[in-house]
Structure 1
């Protein structure tokens, strides 16, 4: 869940991203012992996105 997205028109951005999309992490078998996962998201250049863990 996006808490803050500077690409939003609310903050003067172009609105290129969809804040309603749910993002999921993917487990990495190489780091199974450490329980590390990956998150892949699209972020336009010169923007910032703050995500909240659900």
Structure 2
């Protein structure tokens, strides 16, 4: 079962690091990340951590 967050309205999906921890530090890879998806299936318009990217 999936639920959208009652706080921000997004679906939060985590990805594993494929047993290779340093991959999660690479911003060009999806390994080891938390993805936010809106109800239309798109990513949000603003990044979660403004100024870090």
Structure with a larger share of its residues in strand = 1
Query: TM-score w.r.t. structure 1 length?
Result: 0.29
CA radius of gyration, larger in:
1
**TM, length-normalised to structure 2:** 0.29
Higher relative contact order, chain-length normalized (CA < 8 Å, sep 6+): 1
